[in-house]
Amino acid sequence: MPSVSIVMPVRDAERTLPMAIESCLSQTLPDFELILVDHGSVDGSFSVMKKYARRDSRIEVLKRPRTVPFVSVANLAWQESHGALIARMDADDFSYPARLQHQVKFLAAQPDIVACGTLVRIRKRRTADTASHTGPDDGYAAYESWINSVVTPDAIAAQRFIDSPLANPTTLIRREILERYGGYADPDWAEDYDLWLRLLEDGLALGKVDKCLFDWFDSDTRSTRTLDRYSQLRFQRAKAHYLARLPQVRQRGVAIAGAGPIGKKLARMLRDEHRVTIGCFFEVSEKKIGNSIDGIPVLPSEALPDSPRRVLLGAVGLPGARDQIRELATGSAYCEGADFFCVA
């Protein structure tokens, strides 16, 4: 039995699939199997998969029609595998040769951590030529900087409502955890982010190898850019859903630092969809202070220390504003990850 199973769902990835497969076969950790699942491809993806499977006995190829939901295909991949550790991989990305070796060593040394990712380099494919790529767009450049800064289990747990803290195709997770949680669920939002939020909600630890071991490719046809479930709005709904389930939020309600678009949308989701009490907004803008938003008062940030002790949510998007709110919260004896969370 292999110690690691690499699982890769594939749909219409004929151009990038050889690179992704070869990056798996080039791993310095030899003890693995590669499970490829074709999800109703209409290009030559399945032929590419079969060609590699004929060459290497570690590769198993499965096929499911396009009508089967993607989440079912992603779950099938690991359910049909045999390893005690499951490595996720996408058909348009590139794993560095030492990726699995570092991740297996990382989990072996820290048995309390149930899954880990790696640092990433995000690349933007500009043309149909798979070899033509540049650095990421501005939004993804900011995400690359953030996700590579969130490494420790404490930081991942505390900052989980900013964005997905693990890049899904970089992850290595213990099989027993996938079995216990039933693998990926099928919510309205991203299935991988939902899994991390479920694990973190139960107090399980996620980690990250503090090395860049993965090239994560962005393109205009990538699922994260084309499917509604990966849209910013769906991510915000996921955050509101899991924030509303926190016992301290249910018991004490929240105050929101930031009365801009992010804060207002978050307040409406929490109040209207989850019946969370919104005590007030805190703001630094003189134009907003003293007003109310949907009946919720907007107070000056200086009023935070003397206000009722609600869970504080920092909901801002401007560069540097998040750090200012952190400084304000820390100065008022809030603890990030307990009674203070940043939300984007």
Instruction: Quote the domain boundaries for residue 164.
Output: 4-230
Residue identified by tokens 């699995």 is 100
Strands (E), the chain: 4-10, 32-39, 59-64, 85-88, 94-95, 113-125, 133-134, 172-174, 205-218, 254-257, 278-283, 292-293, 296-300, 311-314, 340-342
Q: Indicate the range of 102-116, 218-232, 291-305, 307-321 predicted with least confidence.
A: 218-232
pLDDT band at 221 (very low <50, low <70, confident <90, very high): low
Residue identified by tokens 């992603």 is 74
Q: Do 192 and 270 belong together in one domain?
A: no
| Predicted confidence (pLDDT) per residue in 227-281, tens digit | 788 899 999 999 999 999 999 999 999 999 999 999 999 999 999 999 999 999 9
Rounded distance, CA 248 to CA 226, Å?
36
Is a pLDDT exceeding 70 seen at residue 129?
A: no
Residue 69, classed as helix, strand or coil, is coil
What element of type H or E holds 195?
Answer: helix 191-201
Rounded distance, CA 237 to CA 269, Å?
7
CATH of the domain at 245: 3.40.50.720
- Integer CA distances (angstroms), 144 to 5, 110, 193, in order: 26, 25, 16
Residue 176, classed as helix, strand or coil, is helix
What is the pTM assigned to this prediction?
Answer: 0.94
CATH of the domain at 113: 3.90.550.10
Strand pairing category for 172-174 and 311-314: unpaired
Residue 161 φ then ψ, to 5°: -95, 5
Question: How does 253-289 read in b/e, with b if 16+ C-beta sit within 10 Å?
Answer: bbbbbbbbebbbbbbebbbeeeebebbbbbbbeeebb
| Predicted confidence (pLDDT) per residue in 75-126, tens digit | 999 999 999 999 999 999 999 999 999 999 999 999 999 999 999 999 987 6
Q: What total of structural domains would you count in the chain?
A: 2
| Predicted confidence (pLDDT) per residue in 148-158, tens digit | 999 999 999 99
Rounded distance, CA 13 to CA 21, Å?
11
Q: Do 139 and 276 belong together in one domain?
A: no
Residue 37's region, left for phi above 0, alpha for psi from -120 to 50, else beta, is beta
Q: Do 53 and 114 belong together in one domain?
A: yes
Q: Do 149 and 217 belong together in one domain?
A: yes
Q: Do 56 and 114 belong together in one domain?
A: yes
